Chain A
Amino acid sequence: GESVGLHLPTLSVQEGDNSIINCAYSNSASDYFIWYKQESGKGPQFIIDIRSNMDKRQGQRVTVLLNKTVKHLSLQIAATQPGDSAVYFCAERGGSQGNLIFGKGTKLSVKP
Chain B
Amino acid sequence: NAGVTQTPKFRVLKTGQSMTLLCAQDMNHEYMYWYRQDPGMGLRLIHYSVGEGTTAKGEVPDGYNVSRLKKQNFLLGLESAAPSQTSVYFCASSYLAGRQRDTQYFGPGTRLTVL
Residues of A at the B interface (CB closer than 8 Å) are: 4, 32, 34, 36, 41-46, 49, 51, 89, 91, 93, 97, 99-100, 102-105
Known: A34-B102, A34-B103. A44 touches B43 (CB 8 A): yes
Q: How many residues of B contact A (CB 8 A)?
A: 23
> Whose C-beta in chain A lies nearest to the C-beta of B108?
A43
Chain A interface, DSSP helix/strand/loop, else mixed: strand
Q: Which of B42, B103, B108 contacts A89 (CB 8 A)?
A: B42
* B108 contacts across to A, CB distance below 8 A: 42-43
Check A49 against B42 for contact (C-beta < 8 Å). no
Contact yes or no, A42 B109, CB < 8 A: yes
> B2 an interface residue at 8 Å Cβ cutoff?
no
B56 nearest CB neighbor, chain A only: A97
Q: How far is the CB of B112 from chain A (nearest CB, A)?
A: 14
- Chain B residue at smallest Cβ distance from A46: B103
User: Could you say which residues of chain B place their CB within 8 Å of the CB of A91?
Assistant: 43
Total A-B residue pairs with C-beta atoms closer than 8 Å? Answer: 48
Cα distance A43–B104 in the bound complex, in angstroms: 11
Residues in A whose Cβ lies below 8 Å from that of B44:
102
Known: A42-B109, A43-B107, A44-B90. Contact between A103 and B102, CB under 8 A?
A: no
Residues in B whose Cβ lies below 8 Å from that of A104: 40-42
Contact A32 B102 (CB under 8 A): yes
Q: Convert B27-50 into 0s and 1s, putting 1 for each residue whose CB lies closer than 8 angstroms to a CB of A.
A: 000000101000011111100100
The distance in angstroms between the C-alpha atoms of A97 and B102, with both chains bound, is 12
Asked whether A99 and B58 contact (CB < 8 A) given A43-B106, A46-B103, the answer is: yes
Whether B45 and A43, one on each chain, are in contact in the complex, defined by CB atoms closer than 8 angstroms, is no
Q: Give, as a whole number of angstroms, the nearest-CB distance from B55 to chain A.
A: 12
- For B33, the chain A residues whose CB sits under 8 A away are 99
Give the docked Cα–Cα distance between A34 and B42 (Å). Answer: 14
User: Complex Cα distance A41/B111, Å?
Assistant: 9
